[in-house]
A and B are shown apart, each in its own frame.
Chain A
Amino acid sequence: MKPINVKIVGVGGQGVVSAGIILGEAASKRNINVVMSEIHGMAQRGGIVSVDIRFGEAYGPISPDNDIDILVGFEILETIRALKYTNENTYIIMNNEKIVPFTSNILKIGYPNVEDYIKNRKNFFAIDAVEIAKKAGTYKAVNIVMIGAVSALNILPIKNEDVEEAIKNVLPKKFWDVNINAFRLGVETINKLKAAYL
C-alpha cells in the first residue's frame, strides 16, 4: 500500500520537529511503520524548518516529489513556498500567521498573499492556530493545535486518542493539560470547517 506522506513546514522555534515526533510516536505505539526526517544545525537559526513524516510502507524519510498527502504549514509564507511539493489532492492545513523574513525589508520583496496561490485548491483549511492556542492556555501550543487539525482529517492511520497518548509520552507532565486542550481545540476547529464544507 502506498505510504501516507505528511510535510510540516514552519520557521525555527515554532515547534515543527516536536509536532512530527508526536505524530510519529502515536503511529509507533500503534505498531505502524513510520519514518521521519529532521533538520538540525545551522539551518535552524530563524530559517525554514521542514519535516517529512511518512506512515506505512515507506523506507526513506524523504517523500517523493508532488506526493504529499497532507501539507501542514505553521506560517503563511512557508506554506506557499511548500506548495511546490503538493498535488491537486493534497490536503493543506495552514496557520494564519505571518512571520515576515528580514529579507522582505532589505531586498524589498513583498510578503505574498496566500489567496493568489490557493485558488482551485479543494482541500485547503486555514486556521488561527495562535488564537486557538492562547485559548487553550499558551501561544506556544500552536504546534499541538496544528496536529489536532491534522488528526481531525482522519487520513492518518492513527486515532485522536493515540495522539493524545503520544503528547503525554513526549511532553513533561506539567504541560499535559494545556496541550491536550490545544489538541482538542485543533480537532474541533477542523471538524467545524469540514461540517461547513459539506
Chain B
Amino acid sequence: MGKYDVILGNEGEKHFLLGNEAIVRGLIESGVGIATTYPGTPSSEIGDVLSNIAKDIGIYFEYSTNEKVALEVAAASAASGIRSFVFMKHVGLNVASDAFMSISFTGTKAGLVIMTGDDPSMFSSQNEQDNRNYAEFAYVPLIEPSNPQEAKDFLVYAFNLSEKYEKPVLFRTTTRVSHQRANVVYGKKREITKIGKFEKNPDRFVLLPSNAYRAKNEVIKKLEDLKKESEISPLNVEINNNSEYGIITSGATYNYIMDAFNMLNIKLDILKLGFSYPPPYQKIENFIKRHNEILVAEEVDPFIEKHVRIVAQIKNINVPIHGKFDGYVEFSYEQNPDRIVKSISKLLNIEYKESKNNNINNLPPRPPVLCPGCPHRATFYAVKLVTKQLRLGDVIYPSDIGCYTLGIQPPYNEADYLLCMGSSVGTGGGFSISTKQKIISFIGDSTFFHAGIPGLINAVHNNHKFLLIILDNRTTAMTGHQPNPGVPFNGMREPAKEIDIEKLVKAIGVEYVKTVDPYDLKNTIIAIREALQRDGLSVIISKRECALLRDAEMIKLGKWVRYQVNQDKCTKCMNCILNYSCPAFYLDPEGRVMIDPVLCDGCGVCALPQVCGFKAIERVEE
C-alpha cells in the first residue's frame, strides 16, 4: 500500500490518475475477484498497482506464464461465478487467441472482461494491429473508452454487460488511453465474491464438435441480442451541434476531434461509439441520414467505417462517407489533433495549413540503450569476442522480446531476426536446418517461460543445431520488473516456487548446458567457446540480476561502488568505448576517457582484463 492508497478512495472523490490506474479503480467498483496478466506495454501498470494492493483488498492477482494461460485461469474463475479480469498488450491476445475464440462459444457465468492494450504508432511493440478485429472475429462485444474516466466507468459497464449476456467482453484501450493521466471521479465500490462454485454443464463447457455445432447458432443469436443492447447503450452517444456534417468515431480519436474543433473554431455533429461491436446499425443509419456528409475517424483499421459503409449499402443511403478507405483519414499510426484537423479540413473543403516543420537535423540521436551495469552487455561483449576469435564469419543472431533486443545496436549488432515472444528458439532451429551459418539465439528468462520452452523441445526432438543463450536477469525487466516463474516470489509478493531453468533444460534433453555469470567474463567466454565448437544444440544460461534491481538494493544498503579511469595508465585504445560501449563512458573535451560517476553502476566488468588490457580502470569505494 502507500503509494496507491489513492486508488482505494471513497465514492465522489476525484483524483489525477493514469488510465491504467483508473482501470484498477474500475475493478474495485466492479467487484472483480480475480485478475491475471502477462506484463506488456501499455497495460503493465495495472499489474504494478495490483501487485501492491490486491492482497489488502481481497483480489487474487497473478502474473501468469503467458497470456493464454492468464486467460484460461480467468475463464475458469468466471465460469465458477467470480468476476474475472485479464489484461495484456495487443500482441498478447494473439497468444491468448486460441482460448479467446472458444470462450466466446462456451460463454461465461460471472463477468469476464479481457483488456487489450493496443499500441498505435508502436511506441513499445513489434507491430501495429487493431485488436477490435478480434471482437468481430470471435463474435464478442467490444468496449472502447477514450480517457481515464471512461476507462473506469466503461469497465463497470463491461462487467455488467458480460454477466447479463454470459459473454466475455473485449475491452480495448490504446497507449494514449492507458497512458493518459487525467481527473477521475470515483463511483461506489462493489463487494467481491471470493469463493465460487463451478456448476457442471458439459454440454456447454466442453466444446466437442457436436456441442460447438449447437453453440454456434446460440452465439449468432446472442450477437443479435447484443446489437439491440448496443442500440440503447449510453456508451454510444450523439453530440448534436446542428451541423450538416457528421463524424463517427471512437477511443482516443474522439479527443483529437474535440481538440480539432477548438483549433478550427467549428463544431460538427459527432456519433461516439463506446460500445462499438456489435455496432448500433439503427443509430448509425439515423445519424447518416440526418447529415449531408459523413467522416469516420478512428485508430487503427477502418473497423467502424466498414460497418458504416455496410449500413449505407444495406439501407441504400446515398450520403458520401469518408474515412480511411478513401484517404480522408490517415491509415497508419495513431491520430493526433493536427491529423484530424487535416481530415476535417478536407471534409469541409477548407484550406489546411501544414504546420511548419522546424525539424532540426544533425543532432545525435538518443535511442534507448542497455543500462550501465546491464548483464546483457557483458554477454553480448563475450559473444562478440568469441565469434571473432573463432573466425565464425556470418553468425546469425535470432533475438527475442525484451531489453536485450537492444543488442541490435552497434557495436554489438547481435539481433538479426525477431518475430514475437519465443521466436528466437523456433527460428534458431529453422536457420540451423536451412543454412550452414553458425546460429546464436538470445532469449530472456521471462520470455523463455512464456513461449521458449516448446521451441526448445522441438529443437531437441528434431535435432536442430544452434546455441541458445538464456539471458536470465531474474525478472521481467523491460516492462518494469515484474516477477516470473524463475524467481522465488509471485505477483502478490508471496513466496513462490522457483522454476530452475538449468534443470528444466537438462530434463528436456539438451546435452550441453552451462550456467555462467556474465560479470565473470573469463568463464563466460570459455563456455561460449566450448558451446560453439560443439556440433549440436547447446544452451548457456547467463545468469545475473538486472542492474536496476541491484542498484535499488545498493541504495537501500547505502553502498556506493564506482569505477574511474586512471589517466596515467589509459592508452586511449578506446576498446571500452567502441566495443564494450557502456553509456557511463565519455570523452572529455581534452579527449580523455572518463566514466560518469552518476551513471556508473559499479558492476566492474569494464575493469576486467578482457575489456581493459591496461588495468587503467580502478574501483572507487565510498
A binding-site residues for B, Cβ under 8 Å = 2-3, 11-12, 20-21, 24-25, 27-28, 33-48, 57-66, 77-78, 80-81, 83-84, 86, 100-107, 109-112, 117, 139, 172
Contacts and interface: CB of A to CB of B under 8 A. Distances in A.
Given A61-B176, A64-B337, A80-B360, A36 B586 contact: no
A28 B587 contact: no
Interface in B291-327: none
Nearest to B41: A41
A37 B585 CA distance: 32
Given A62-B336, A105-B586, A106-B578, A39 B179 contact: yes
30 contacts: A2-B262, A24-B16, A33-B182, A35-B180, A35-B255, A37-B181, A38-B180, A40-B44, A40-B45, A41-B123, A42-B368, A45-B369, A46-B368, A46-B369, A58-B259, A59-B147, A60-B180, A60-B256, A60-B337, A62-B256, A62-B337, A64-B259, A77-B364, A101-B365, A102-B581, A103-B366, A103-B367, A105-B578, A105-B587, A112-B363
Contacts of A111: 364
Interface residues of B, number: 62
B181 A36 contact: yes
A2 B44 CA distance: 33
Contacts of B15: 28
A112 B365 CA distance: 12
B366 A39 contact: no
Contacts of B613: none
B128 interface: no
Given A60-B255, A86-B358, 5 more contacts: A35-B255, A38-B18, A40-B124, A102-B583, A103-B367
Which 8 A/B pairs are nearest by Cβ-Cβ distance?
A: A60-B255, A41-B41, A41-B124, A47-B368, A65-B355, A28-B16, A59-B258, A45-B368
Interface in B332-387: 336-338, 341, 355-360, 362-371
A109 B366 contact: no
Contacts of A103: 364-367
A24 B181 contact: yes
Contact of B41 (A42, A60, A110): A42
Contacts of A44: 368
Given A77-B364, A105-B586, A41 B478 contact: yes
B205 to A, nearest CB: 37
Interface string B130-149: 00000000000000000100
Contacts of A81: 360, 363
Nearest to B477: A45
A104 B179 contact: no
A69 to B, nearest CB: 14
Contact of B338 (A35, A48, A64, A139): A64
A45 B403 contact: yes
B392 interface: no
B480 interface: yes
Contacts of B585: 102, 105
Given A36-B181, A58-B259, A41 B577 contact: no
Given A28-B16, A58-B259, A64-B263, A43 B356 contact: no
A34 B371 CA distance: 33
A77 B55 CA distance: 44
Contacts of B262: 2-3, 57
A70 B473 CA distance: 40
Given A47-B369, A101-B366, A38 B181 contact: yes
A106 B124 contact: no
Most buried by A among B182, B258, B371, B578: B182
A39 B14 CA distance: 23
B129 interface: no
A141 to B, nearest CB: 14
A162 to B, nearest CB: 12
B258 to A, nearest CB: 4
Contacts of A38: 18, 179-181
Contacts of A58: 259
A47 B367 contact: yes
Contacts of B360: 80-81, 83-84, 117
B183 interface: yes
B123 A105 contact: no
Contacts of B468: none
A24 to B, nearest CB: 5
Contact of B179 (A37, A63, A106): A37
A112 B364 CA distance: 8
Given A60-B176, A62-B336, A106 B410 contact: yes
Contacts of B14: 28
- The interface centre, meaning the residue of A35, A40, A44, A107 with most chain B CB atoms within 10 A of its CB, is A40
A19 to B, nearest CB: 12
A42 B357 contact: no
B479 interface: yes
A109 B366 CA distance: 11
B16 A41 contact: no
B414 to A, nearest CB: 15
Nearest to B16: A28
B258 A84 contact: no
A10 to B, nearest CB: 10
B32 interface: no
Contacts of A41: 41-42, 44, 123-124, 478-479
A11 B180 contact: no
Interface in B13-34: 14-16, 18
A104 B581 CA distance: 12
A42 B478 contact: yes
A38 B44 CA distance: 13
Interface string B200-223: 000000000000000000000000
B254 interface: yes
Nearest to A102: B583
Contacts of B410: 106
A40 B179 contact: yes
Contacts of A109: 362-364
B46 to A, nearest CB: 12
Contacts of B256: 59-60, 62
B477 to A, nearest CB: 9
B411 interface: yes
Contacts of B147: 35, 59
Given A42-B41, A60-B336, A84-B358, A35 B181 contact: yes
Contacts of B338: 64-65
Contacts of A66: 355-356, 358
Contacts of A20: 181
B469 interface: no
Nearest to B372: A46
A42 B42 CA distance: 10
Nearest to A42: B124
B406 interface: yes
Contacts of B583: 46, 101-102
B41 A40 contact: yes
A39 B259 CA distance: 21
Contacts of B539: none
A38 B181 CA distance: 8
Nearest to B252: A60
| Residue among B364, B478, B578 with most chain A CB within 10 A | B364
A175 B176 CA distance: 31
Contacts of A36: 180-182
